[in-house]
Copies of this chain bind each other. A is one copy, B any other.
């Protein structure tokens, strides 16, 4: 559990921060990160945290989601909304298996929760590797923020308690790359695609989103990451020679 981080983005009601800290602690989670929170710290946060003051004391505050998840190799966002571009979507019960597998392998995992009213921006969503959707009443699916934290933390706690040795489905020969490394790769890939003449300027965004979705889902390890970087660099070098000659 020490590798699992709850990340609240742009929370507007301070009470929800405190209630989320309490929900976390009841399920054995201690690591809270806040992105541009309103009213933190405050008396309201502390009051709603009840006995979870230690979680608040260890809470780290960041300016952007990218900064908050920089060291995380698995980033899953809780969302009730269906998006245009389909990210991999998990129920809480499906998601916690992935979370625990990664955390047990020493990978930092982020569980991201958006703003109470407006959720996450598309740019923020593009930093995430998948979505956790809590099954809910289709006519009223809007869980309170701390309630969503509670449900997912609860599933995590149930799975962790049940979890003896979960079988390894895949040989792990190398550590997972983290979000900051992936961002660097995407930036270089974009430059490369322009250089080799593949990127069509009229719709780069959707193309990049699809590539992000693919490689986020694939959960690259360090070897694979280095191979892809090598291919990208070689292609770019080949294209540049063309232009020079």
Contacts and interface: CB of A to CB of B under 8 A. Distances in A.
Contacts of A86: 170-173
Contacts of A154: 134-135, 151, 154
A205 interface: no
B196 A144 contact: no
Interface residues of A, number: 69
Contacts of A23: 143-144, 147
A236 B228 CA distance: 15
Nearest to A152: B154
Interface of A: 19, 22-23, 25-28, 50-52, 82, 86, 88-91, 93-94, 134-137, 140-144, 146-147, 150-151, 154, 157-158, 161, 167, 169-173, 193, 195-198, 207, 210-211, 213-215, 217-220, 223-224, 227, 230-231, 234-235, 237-239, 241-242, 245
